[in-house]
Homo-oligomer: A and B are copies of this chain.
Amino acid sequence: MKVTILGNNSALPAFGRHPSAQAVSVWGEVLLIDCGEGAQVQMQRYGIKWRNIWHIFISHMHGDHYFGLPGLINSMSLLGRVAPLHVYAPLELQEILDKILQVADTKLSYELHFHPLPSESSVLVDNDKFSVTCFPVEHRIFCHGFLIERKTKGRKLLPEKCREYEIPAYFYERLKQGENYEKQDGTVVKNEWVTTQGPSAKRYAYCADTIFTDSYLPFIKDVDTLYHECTYLESDADKAAGRYHCTARQAAEIASKANAKQLLLGHFSSKYRDLEPFKEEATPVFANVQITTEGTAYEI
C-alpha cells in the first residue's frame, strides 16, 4: 500500500508544485484523493493509470481540491472507459458536474455514480480489499478527511507447496481463509504447510484542509501513515488559524497525539519556495516525518 503525491501545494500552483491530488494504491486499485487542476497530467507523468481508478474522493469545494476533476472525467470518457466510476464529494459538486456535462452536450461512455458526503463520519466504501471512511475536519467550508483501511487478504499461498500436496485450485480461496485441506484418503494438509502470513492490515489517513484541532483525533488514532496539511510555518500561526489551516508544528502535534507511525506533510503555501524549514519545525515534535515531493510514492 502506497500513496503517490500528485500535488502538494495549497491554493495555487507554484515552484513546480501543483494543487492537491494523490493516488493511494491498494491491492491493485488506485483511490484518488482530491483532484486539483492538472491532476490528469500529473497522473500521466507519474504512471498512474486511470483504468485502475474506480473511486475518487473530494474533501471539499475549494477549487485547488477539485478543479482537475471535470477534465479527468471527460478524458476517461474520450478514452472509452466502460467501468463505472464512483465520486464521493460534497453535494454541490454534483450540480457543477451536471451543468458542465450538459452545456458541452456530453454523454459519458461510462456510468458516473455520485455519492454526496454526509455531514458526519460515514463508511463510504467497504469491500473485501479495503474500506474508506470520511470524517469531518474543521475548515472554512464543509470539509472531510478520509481514512483508508487496507484489509488483510488472508494467508498468502505458497504455490509450490500447494502443488506438492496436490491441493486443487478450487480450494485456494479457503486456504487463504486459514482452512486445512483434507485429502480423499483422509490425510490432513495443515494450512501452515502451504501458506504463509499475509500482508497485515494498514491504515492511512488524509487530513486537508483543517484548522488545528483535536476534534478528528478519534478517527485517525494509531494510523500507519498520516498525511496532514501544513500550509504555514509557526511564524505564520495567526494566519494559519485565521484561514483554517495548520502549521508544520501543529501537524506534528496531531501525528504525535494520534500515535501515527509516519507523518507526510503537504499542502504548502505558495509563499514558501524552500520546504526544509517545515521539516526542521516538525521533527522535534514528531520524528518520522517526510516533506512530500510530487511524483514520490510513499510506503504506508
Residues of A participating in the B interface, judged by any CB pair closer than 8 Å: 11-14, 18-19, 37-38, 40-41, 44, 61-64, 67-68, 70-71, 74-75, 78-79, 90, 92-93, 95-96, 99-100, 103-105, 140-141
Contact = CB atoms under 8 A, between A and B. Distances in A.
Nearest to A140: B105
A41 B70 contact: no
Nearest to A41: B13
Contacts of A75: 11-13
B12 A71 contact: yes
A41 to B, nearest CB: 5
Nearest to A12: B75
A32 B11 CA distance: 22
A105 B141 CA distance: 7
A18 to B, nearest CB: 7
Given A12-B79, A140-B105, A63 B71 contact: yes
10 contacts: A11-B74, A12-B40, A12-B78, A19-B71, A63-B100, A63-B104, A64-B74, A95-B99, A103-B141, A105-B141
Minimum-distance CB pairs A-B, first 8: A12-B75, A92-B103, A37-B71, A61-B103, A67-B71, A38-B38, A13-B41, A63-B74
Residue of A18, A70, A71, A100 ringed by the most chain B CB atoms within 10 A: A71
A130 to B, nearest CB: 29
Contacts of A62: 104
A14 B90 CA distance: 30
B141 A11 contact: no
Contacts of A44: 13-14
Contacts of A18: 41
A157 to B, nearest CB: 40
A49 to B, nearest CB: 14
A44 B19 CA distance: 14
A18 B45 CA distance: 13
B96 A92 contact: no
Nearest to A45: B16
